[in-house]
Structure 1
Amino acid sequence: MAEARPSTDEETAPLLQDPDHARTESETTRHDSSPFQNFLEHVTSITKEPLNALSKVLLVLAIVLLLLTSIFIGLFAGAQHKLKERSGKVPPTETVTTTVVSTATTTQVGTPTAPLPVPTRPPPVNICTTADCVKLSASILGKLDESQDPCENFYEFANGGWLESHEIPAGRGTFGSFESLAQENKRIVRKLIEPASESTAAPSQAPSYDDQTLKKLRGLYTSCLNEEHLDDRGHEPLFEVVKIVRTLFSGNSTNTTAEWTVPLTGAVAYLHSRGIGGLFNFEIDGDVGVDPNAMSLWFFQPDLGLPAKEYYKEKDIRDIYEDTLACILIALSDETEQKSQVLNMQTQTTETANVWPPWPWPPWGDDDDDDDDGKKGEKKKNSTERARDLARDVVEFEHKLAEASLDLEDLYQDPIGTYNPTPFSEFAASLPQLDFPLYLSSFAPRNFPTTVILTSTTYAHSLSAILSSTQSKVVEAYLVTRAALAIAPMLGMKTEVWQAHRALIETLQGIKKGQVPDRADWCVQQVENAMGFAVGRFFVQETFGGESRRKGTKVITDIIDAFKESLKHLEWMDEKSGKAAAEKADAIRVKVGFPLSPDTTSARSIAVYYNAVHIHNNTFAENVLSASTSDQIKKWQQLGKRRNPESWEMYPSMVNAYFNPPANEIVFPAGILRPPFFSQDWPMYLAYGSFGHVAAHELTHAFDSAGRLYNQEGKLEQWWTNATSEGFKTRQDCIAKQYSNYTIDDGKGGKVHVNGNLTSGENIGDTGLIQAYRAWKSQFSASLNDGGEYLLPGLDYTQEQLFFIAFGQIWAQKIKPQAALQRVRTDPHSPNKYRVEGTVFNIPEFAKAFNCPNNAKLNPPPEKQCILW
């Protein structure tokens, strides 16, 4: 019977044996008695023999492979250690038991100084290494300042690299992620509206609707770029407007109300028809107390020459503003006198009444007029002194208007206090200096209103009292300077009025004297302002394709779902209010990208919409005023109609978004659905952290300090229970107090506090970030399976950390102290630094993601946090 064949691990014969080698008996005996010793002896014998070429090559390859394997293990262990350290999950040093085999078997116990490179989870296999992913990763890393502690200074951590590498462009007071994307969008628009060269011009044929629209866009843009022609024209475009204002006002010099009514009404109506503000403002919007879709007349206080009330009390700013208005009045008087002299020489036989201008200008009269005693030749104040006196009176007049106006926190945060429906006849009687039927007839509304909604119950009465106590020449100069401040940016840069206005802007925003923004970018902005939806038609064709709308909409609807789910767990909201809030969230109309209705977006509808805009080459100011007049006509045509559910308040290329309470809609133009806010190709943790915050912010506005007072139909009413309202108010007050403790530098060595009441609604909107986080988490598994949570190369951060980093980086911004001060006084949004750190302060998930120690600045104890959702 044959013996059993030995197992392969005991077999000693090679597959290819050397015929010259014969195994001796002693070798056989040693092999049989001690396999391990025989193996060592065999290796020893091999090493004593000379190596052939093949053996040498194999030996070198083995050594190289061994070194590469060691390097790979070391790198992998280091990466794992850093990743664990960053996420706060570094494994502790372990005591490892190892068994060493030798001729005398022993067990040794060692404690290494570093953990063994054994991962606690499988190494990531879904790392995107395409060129786009590498660029995206580099962009994120380049914005970071990793020397900062995210638990203490998250804004600087997320944006320090960006802040170090960017400067505020010439002629601006601020620059950030929003402005940077807007600049990129302008570059795209610029390529679309730059006039085509003759070689690329379309063949001669009947122009299409798109051709008609592009011709107007290009004509407006070209007229803006022609600076030489603007300088040649000088103040002429402004003079054309001033002439009409003064003609309508007719140089009235009395204070009698009856004599003021028609002249003042005509002058104000004319300015308003050109989009130039003054004294008051009318808007057309839904009647939120009765029917939010019934477009009704609203009466507002006016914008002021200075950005905020506070500036009128600061002597240095007030002095500069007075100088600006004086320069305007002097420039206008000088050119008027020059024109009068020329016309007088040309028409010596013409009666004075036919000489332009047909009114006394300057309003202070001739220098050599008789004095009160009838004596001639006694020199009066020169025209410069008189202009300064008049400018001082105009500034004081505006100061009175400012004091009569509502504080911005009341205007923005109190929708109940600013809803005051009043019979139109009663309103008109409170302001007898204006003939409102005559005013409305200037705009030819289809329905004369019987009711007007006042945002202030006192402003009309106060305005009447101010007008009654003010000389007509001051009111006239006020109207003239309002026109000048509006038209000044459209004039040539060599004109005195442009220069005076620019000096004021430089002071208010801290811009270096003489710096101006890029002319092409500025002109694109003027084209967008004037004909934004015409620009938008071509912009979305160029940039908004693929899955952008669908994926952007999914982010929004996921956040709505997360918000509704969170309502079930709020201890301050009872079941009845929670159900109503969920119904409102379901009813919100979501608009993404651009209007969808063919009636508003087709080539024909766009061309028809802007048909009334008359564009003439090289007449930039007149072109802009023509567009403004067209907008005013369209605005007033809405009075008495039903709201158009497809209408938009922002044009598609705009980098912004909004919530409209009466329409209960959130709107996201295509302009903001681009990096660094959104890309259809990004991993979802970035998309929900960046654009997700924008979406959650607008959704949360529907439930902020003002938005919560509108029900799901956009009607103003108390639809929460009293108990829920009180619970919300407690948290609202907490947030207001939190942000009121934040300060900015005033540029003069002092500190100015953020107005927590003014910014209350926007701060609450920012708390929506937690809903974006929950929405991302809820879809994570499905997204992971679909490949939507892939990692980026070189980013040593967890996906949770990258979610918050993406959020922080969209608020990168550099701002000059003067511009920051203006923002704190006028903007309902908090400074960007506090929009970031004030938000994560109230989100425990942030501190957990970065493993922040207890009582770190951004990991406060629960009793100090203001948590709404």
Structure 2
Amino acid sequence: MKRVMILSFAAALLATGCTSKSTVKTPGIDLSNLDTTVACGDDFYDYACGGWMKKNPLKPEYARFGSFDQLRENNREQIRLLFEELGKQKAEPGSIAQKIGDLYNMGLDSVRLNEEGASPIAEELSRIQSLSGKEAISAMIGEMHRTTSAPFFAIYVDADAKNSTMNIAGWYQAGMNMGDRDYYIADDEANSKIRDSYRNYIQKIFTLSGYSAESAAQAAATVLKVETEIAKAAFTREELRDPQAGYNVMTIDELKKQFGGLDWDIYFNTVGLDSLKKINIGQPRTLKAVNNLLKTLNEQEIRDYLAFNCIDGAAPYLSDDFVNAHFDFYSKTLSGKEQIEPRWKRALDVPNSLLSEAVGEMYVAKYFPPEAKERMVQLVANLQTALGQHIDSLEWMSDETKAKAHEKLNNFYVKIGYPDKWRDYTGLTVNPKDSYYANIRRAAEFETLYSLKDEGKPVDKTKWYMSPQTVNAYYNPSSNEICFPAGILQPPFFNFDADDAVNYGAIGVVIGHEMTHGFDDQGRQFDKDGNLNDWWTSADAEQFTKRAEILASQYDNIVVLDTVHANGHFTLGENIADHGGLRIAYTALHNTFDGVEPAPIDGFTADQRFYLAYAALWAGNIRDAEILRLTKIDPHSLGRWRVNAALRNMETFFKAFDIKEGDAMYMAPEDRVIIW
């Protein structure tokens, strides 16, 4: 598992995208995407995106569909063509073409998957059910962490937050398969119904795996008991945002002395960290609860909990009965999806994820125009200049802190398009004679060992944490790097045929967003070298916090659905980045004018086109269940509020669209906040 503190532009589920060498021109602003029946001063999101939303109603397979998802679908089609081309060739055994092609084809083979049923996990379940003794249990947990699941907790390797040139192992809270602690402990009707559905799902997949109805019911009760105990102790979403609270390095001897519920020597040897000397405990409170569980649960309870993690991790890659049960809970109940994706999409996502850089290398060669990388280099430089201007203009920041901020800005490590060197997948075996799940398990193990092998070694700053085909971007504070994969360098984000106002409102804001992450409530705690190190004067830190609290309160007051509010503190970092990205990109755009305002296009001024282009990034439709789920788990605000809430702090936005006091979009100057 890789637990790097990546601060991304979009939610993690928006994972892939495409670029094309097509000569078809895309308009900078597509007028059909607007809904001019809505006054821009009443609801700018509906005005700028309403036409797009009407043209793209939600299909049953989606809980949310927006601009990112549209790119994701285009990307899938292009990668599908790549995979089909591989299928027409006679691949050499052990080649990348063989590995990708066989893994894809195994996912398509519904006849074989349904014939095999639960048999691919039978041997693993048998070993789990025969576990006895602390040593055997510790070894099994290590094996599962090395492959497809994370019972009780997760292990990872990443840069040491206070010595960013070296990698260190880390312990991170996990073992809650619903993904958020509130699902287990929130005392309301909605979450109670979700827990009931979860219990039914657990029982069903146990039954499908050969358990009796009685044994499945007892096992389900155990799973909920264990996960609820972990949830009670787990760090909240807000606590997880504090990098200082997440830094607790101890020696392995100290770990063994304080938390003896697991045989750590056997565990680390099994997981692949046999020479470990120290580890960072991300959430000590949660570890204490897990340690207590390992000491107090009886062996049958531990066996049932581990068995569920095995079955749950394998379910998407087994027969249709397992796949549908998994979909019904995780996608239909939690997100509101009505229909599972076609099999080819699910099959494609497996090699696209597990051999991501191998697919990325093929993708870049076919679809990524090199001139996009050249243009991005200049755009990034322009945005750096603009952010420097903003730092200099801050009245509340001292010259001392400004100087350090400039050092950090000038030390950004920029990655564009794709890595300079590609990963080697020679050591991964894909064998179609084995089951689909066995191959996925082996690929997951290959990925885990690839990450864990860096423990105790110098950090490789050339390593990428997103594949080139990803429609997203990120800032990584431990390396002070900003990354823009090839997948995001296309319309509506990056458009060669569009005017500067559109490109600065889209990809310019993305660039500014990632840069601002270096100076948000989390990123500002890391210095120019990526170390967790306080480089602010106390007075400047106080001024920053004061302004950040105003922004958090603005978002806390948003009602996302019925009586449910947004979480302004959980989303604070992304909201600061949105605000900073908008302001910095606007300044960078005006720097290009050199005092001469360009003529309007399609009746819209450059400033209007800038803000319309930004809003277009967040056009989308979403189901109510997904609104509630994302409000729990996603540190990004919902698309509607990334537009309406962010723009209400922008005086230049009010001027561009003549928004005045009394309009719903208007915010009085004394209520606005400027951080960067």
User: Is the aligned partner of 1:522 residue 2:522?
Assistant: no
CA distance in 2, matches of 1:197, 1:429: 55
Q: What is the CA-CA distance between 1:855 and the residue it aligns to?
A: 4.3
Task: Call closer, same or farther: CA 1:275–1:635 in 2, change over 3 Å.
Answer: farther
- Indicate the residue corresponding to 1:474 in structure 2: 301
- Indicate the residue corresponding to 2:129 in structure 1: 246
CA distance in 2, matches of 1:782, 1:650: 39
User: Is the aligned partner of 1:393 residue 2:222?
Assistant: yes
CA distance in 2, matches of 1:532, 1:241: 27
Q: What is the CA-CA distance between 1:193 and the residue it aligns to?
A: 1.2
Task: Call closer, same or farther: CA 1:571–1:477 in 2, change over 3 Å.
Answer: same
* Conserved 8 A contact 1:555-1:692: yes
Please list the CA deviations of residues 156-192 of structure 1 after superposition, one character each: whole Å capped at 9, or x if unmatched: 1110001111122332211111111111111111111
CA distance in 1, matches of 2:113, 2:393: 62
Q: What is the CA-CA distance between 1:195 and the residue it aligns to?
A: 4.9
Task: Call closer, same or farther: CA 1:568–1:478 in 2, change over 3 Å.
Answer: same
CA distance in 2, matches of 1:822, 1:814: 15
CA distance in 1, matches of 2:296, 2:666: 57
Please list the CA deviations of residues 331-353 of structure 1 after superposition, one character each: whole Å capped at 9, or x if unmatched: 2235xxxxxxxxxxxxxxxxxxx
* Conserved 8 A contact 1:275-1:632: no
* Conserved 8 A contact 2:248-2:282: yes
User: Is the aligned partner of 1:492 residue 2:319?
Assistant: yes
CA distance in 1, matches of 2:71, 2:85: 24
CA distance in 1, matches of 2:436, 2:508: 40
* Conserved 8 A contact 2:262-2:291: no
User: Is the aligned partner of 1:504 residue 2:504?
Assistant: no
Task: Call closer, same or farther: CA 1:196–1:286 in 2, change over 3 Å.
Answer: closer
Please list the CA deviations of residues 129-176 of structure 1 after superposition, one character each: whole Å capped at 9, or x if unmatched: xx955x516x61111111111122011111000111112233221111
CA distance in 1, matches of 2:647, 2:619: 15
Deviates further, 706-715 or 189-198: 189-198
User: Is the aligned partner of 1:752 residue 2:564?
Assistant: yes
CA distance in 2, matches of 1:619, 1:194: 21
CA distance in 2, matches of 1:477, 1:315: 22
| Equivalences for residues 442-841 of structure 1 within 5 A | 442-445=270-273, 448-493=275-320, 495=321, 497-505=322-330, 506-512=332-338, 515-596=339-420, 600-601=421-422, 606=423, 608-616=424-432, 619-745=435-561, 750-767=562-579, 768-781=581-594, 795-841=602-648
Q: Which amino acid aligns with 2:585?
A: A
CA distance in 1, matches of 2:436, 2:425: 20
* Conserved 8 A contact 2:262-2:294: no
Q: What is the CA-CA distance between 1:780 and the residue it aligns to?
A: 2.4
- Indicate the residue corresponding to 1:418 in structure 2: 246
2:174 pairs, out of 283, 302, 318, with 302
- TM-score, normalisation: structure 2: 0.92
Task: Call closer, same or farther: CA 1:846–1:267 in 2, change over 3 Å.
Answer: same
Q: What is the CA-CA distance between 1:528 and the residue it aligns to?
A: 1.2
CA distance in 2, matches of 1:213, 1:386: 43
Deviates further, 850-859 or 835-844: 850-859
CA distance in 2, matches of 1:160, 1:438: 57
Q: What is the CA-CA distance between 1:239 and the residue it aligns to?
A: 2.0
Q: Which amino acid aligns with 1:759?
A: T
- Indicate the residue corresponding to 1:222 in structure 2: 105
Q: Which amino acid aligns with 1:320?
A: S
Task: Call closer, same or farther: CA 1:858–1:553 in 2, change over 3 Å.
Answer: farther
Unpaired segments of 5 or more residues in structure 1? 1-130, 253-258, 335-382
**In structure 2, the residue corresponding to 1:441 is in which secondary structure?**
helix
Q: Which amino acid aligns with 1:510?
A: G
* Conserved 8 A contact 1:195-1:218: no
Q: More relative contact order in 1 or in 2 (CA 8 Å, sep 6+)?
A: 2
- Indicate the residue corresponding to 1:859 in structure 2: 666
- Indicate the residue corresponding to 1:19 in structure 2: none
Q: Which amino acid aligns with 1:760?
A: L
* Conserved 8 A contact 1:683-1:790: no
CA distance in 1, matches of 2:124, 2:250: 33
Q: Which amino acid aligns with 1:779?
A: T
Q: What is the CA-CA distance between 1:823 and the residue it aligns to?
A: 0.5
* Conserved 8 A contact 1:572-1:724: yes
* Conserved 8 A contact 1:551-1:680: no
User: Is the aligned partner of 1:311 residue 2:183?
Assistant: yes
* Conserved 8 A contact 2:175-2:227: no
CA distance in 2, matches of 1:577, 1:615: 57
* Conserved 8 A contact 1:219-1:617: no
Deviates further, 390-399 or 731-740: 390-399
* Conserved 8 A contact 2:103-2:430: no
Please list the CA deviations of residues 459-490 of structure 1 after superposition, one character each: whole Å capped at 9, or x if unmatched: 22221222333222122111111111111111
* Conserved 8 A contact 1:169-1:517: no
Q: What is the CA-CA distance between 1:428 and the residue it aligns to?
A: 2.1
**In structure 2, the residue corresponding to 1:403 is in which secondary structure?**
helix
Q: What is the CA-CA distance between 1:656 and the residue it aligns to?
A: 1.1
CA distance in 1, matches of 2:465, 2:315: 26
Q: Which amino acid aligns with 2:154?
A: N
User: Is the aligned partner of 1:331 residue 2:217?
Assistant: no
* Conserved 8 A contact 2:86-2:101: no
* Conserved 8 A contact 1:222-1:617: no
Give the greater-gyration-radius structure (CA): 1
Q: What is the CA-CA distance between 1:286 and the residue it aligns to?
A: 1.3
CA distance in 1, matches of 2:135, 2:586: 59
CA distance in 2, matches of 1:616, 1:244: 24
Q: What is the CA-CA distance between 1:610 and the residue it aligns to?
A: 4.2
Please list the CA deviations of residues 766-794 of structure 1 after superposition, one character each: whole Å capped at 9, or x if unmatched: 1121101111110124999xxxx7875xx
- Aligned length, in residue pairs: 647
Q: What is the CA-CA distance between 1:718 and the residue it aligns to?
A: 1.0
User: C-alpha root-mean-square deviation of aligned residues, in Å?
Assistant: 2.0
Q: What is the CA-CA distance between 1:388 and the residue it aligns to?
A: 1.3
Unpaired segments of 5 or more residues in structure 2? 1-22, 186-190
Task: Call closer, same or farther: CA 1:544–1:473 in 2, change over 3 Å.
Answer: same
**In structure 1, the residue corresponding to 2:428 is in which secondary structure?**
coil
Q: What is the CA-CA distance between 1:225 and the residue it aligns to?
A: 1.0
* Conserved 8 A contact 2:145-2:155: no
CA distance in 2, matches of 1:324, 1:783: 63
**In structure 1, the residue corresponding to 2:569 is in which secondary structure?**
coil
- Indicate the residue corresponding to 1:107 in structure 2: none
CA distance in 2, matches of 1:286, 1:160: 44
- Indicate the residue corresponding to 1:176 in structure 2: 66
Please list the CA deviations of residues 520-556 of structure 1 after superposition, one character each: whole Å capped at 9, or x if unmatched: 2222222111100000001111121241001122222
- TM-score, normalisation: structure 1: 0.72
* Conserved 8 A contact 1:217-1:531: yes
Please list the CA deviations of residues 575-608 of structure 1 after superposition, one character each: whole Å capped at 9, or x if unmatched: 1101110110000101010011xxx32xxxx4x3
Q: Which amino acid aligns with 2:176?
A: L
2:27 pairs, out of 133, 136, 146, with 136
* Conserved 8 A contact 2:222-2:305: no
CA distance in 2, matches of 1:240, 1:557: 56
Task: Call closer, same or farther: CA 1:223–1:422 in 2, change over 3 Å.
Answer: same
CA distance in 1, matches of 2:220, 2:234: 21
**In structure 2, the residue corresponding to 1:650 is in which secondary structure?**
coil
* Conserved 8 A contact 2:504-2:610: yes
Task: Call closer, same or farther: CA 1:618–1:773 in 2, change over 3 Å.
Answer: farther
Q: Which amino acid aligns with 2:31?
A: L
